[in-house]
Structures are given as C-alpha cells and as structure tokens.
Amino acid sequence: MNVYRMNDYDWVAATTAIEASEFYRKAIMPEYGEEEEDLPEKLTESELMNLVFHHDDGHETSFMERLEEELANRGEDRSPFFFASTEY
C-alpha cells in the first residue's frame, strides 16, 4: 500500500496510482484524473518519514507511522482510502 499526493491538499492510500485516481474521482472530485498527466504522485519513503500527520487529539506522527497504524487497523482490507488532507 502506498500514499499518493492527489494535489497540494489531499493524499490517498492505494496500491497503484490508477487505483488512487479512481478512488479520488469517485469519492472526492469527479473531474480529477480526466487527463493522463493527472495521475497522482507516489510519496517516497523519505517523504513518508518527513511529512507530519496531525491527529485530532493534537499529537503528531510521521505519515509512515500513520500509514502503518491505519493498515494494522484495517487488517486484510487493502482497498483505497482517504489518507490525509490539509482541509479537514
């Protein structure tokens, strides 16, 4: 499972860029991904370690720690999901 930057505000966790794009288009923004160049960018391991996830209770973790936590909670479910946003 990877994290994809959809734009400057939203990130989606998915297996592939196409899967992330399809999920995002259906769930958030219908016009997203109409052009091939709209495919999202996969975060690197360095980005996952350096980007900060701000939890609702005020504590912070890296995107990597948050992804590991989320995947552990989801068990075998590897369907795409909305990972983070600067807008919520």
pLDDT tens-digit profile of 55-73? 989 999 999 999 999 999 9
Per-residue pLDDT at 36 exceeds 90: no
Give the number of domains in the chain.
1
Task: Give the mean model confidence (pLDDT) for residues 34-53.
Answer: 86
Q: What is the value of pTM for the model shown? A: 0.87
Q: What pLDDT was estimated at residue 33? A: 57
Q: What pLDDT was estimated at residue 11? A: 96
Distance separating alpha carbons of residues 62 and 24, to the nearest angstrom: 22
Distance separating alpha carbons of residues 38 and 49, to the nearest angstrom: 25
- State which residues form the domain around 13: 2-85
The DSSP secondary-structure symbol of 39 reads P
Print burial letters for 46-61: b (CB count within 10 Å at least 16), e (below 16): eebeebebeeeeeeee
Q: What pLDDT was estimated at residue 86? A: 87
